[in-house]
Amino acid sequence: MEGFIDKLRSRIFLFVIILVLTLGGCTDGAIVTEPEIVAEPEIVTELENEATETIDGLPNESVEPPTEFVDEEDLANERQREKIEANIKEWFLGEKLHKYVGNNRDYDWYIDQGLTGEHSNDNCGPASAVMAMKWIDEDFMGTAEEARQQFIPEGGWWFTSTIAEYFDSHGLDYSYWDFDLEDKARGIEDLKGLIESGNIVLLCVDIGYVSYEYEEGLRINRFYGYDDGHFIIVKGYVEVDDRTYFEVYDSNNWEMTYEDGSPLGKDRYYDAEELMDAIYNWWGHGFVISGK
């Protein structure tokens, strides 16, 4: 009987081994199946030039690309500099532009006093005051005619005190500048410094001290015969060869234009030393209007 049992055990053992070999090998008695194959995630490359910033060293791709700020006044100044450089011979009889500083706007704020109504002959004051207001505020809707009706409506010269009254009536923030009457070179540097600080300067001058320019096409110095008291605005300066000129808006234009159609009094260039004489021999001060 024991022999029969031993044979039976042997056959059962053999059957178990055959069964295990048939189902596949394993370790520690566990049946191993093939691992599931999982596809690697696809790496997506962004083709757009999006800005990527980091937070604590980790990329943050939700940040919008920074918007580049474009200063319209800087663009206007650069355009004016390029025009000057391209026309240095025709405008100045010069050879080289060494420096240009301007306080331009990207909109038109020049006024021709010849187009300001009944008292146009005397309207350099109203025209210059309104130009200053328009330089400060593109949306300013006042006119030289309205300014004339507001102050001394019967006609006649405006005075520097009238300019101040007009500015005060519109809440314009301005200051006075006293030029050094003993040192012309210092006066030139002072006026250049005011321009470099982002200001325009409204002057009351004896315009007869600025030379009359007879050659058409040049954009330097006085372009009309009048040679007495006059209001102008200084808005920039240029250094051409060994000369300095101040860039002005002179309203005494009367529809006179260059060949390109631009007014003679718009962006005219007055010799710096002569302009100092014109300042010293009249009021000796200036209204400083800041655009900052």
Angle between helices 160-169 and 124-136 (to 10 degrees): 40
Query: Domains in the chain, ordered, with CATH?
Result: 72-290 (3.90.70.10)
Digit-by-digit pLDDT tens for the chain (292 residues) are 445 445 545 555 554 444 443 444 333 333 333 444 444 444 334 434 444 444 445 445 444 555 555 678 899 999 999 999 999 999 999 999 999 999 999 999 999 999 999 999 999 999 999 999 999 999 999 999 999 999 999 999 999 999 999 999 999 999 999 998 889 999 999 999 999 999 999 999 999 999 999 999 999 999 999 999 999 999 999 999 999 999 999 999 999 999 999 999 999 999 999 999 999 999 999 999 998 6
* Distance from C-alpha of 61 to C-alpha of 107, rounded to nearest angstrom: 39
* Distance from C-alpha of 270 to C-alpha of 234, rounded to nearest angstrom: 9
3-class SS shares of the chain: helix, strand, coil, % to 5: 35, 20, 40
> Residue 278 is encoded by which pair of tokens?
């014109």
Report the predicted TM-score, pTM, of the whole model to 2 decimal places.
0.77
Dihedral angle sign, alpha carbons of residues 276, 85, 108, 255? positive
How big is the CA angle at 85 (ends 193 and 97), to the nearest 5 degrees?
Answer: 50
Q: What is the DSSP letter of 109?
A: -
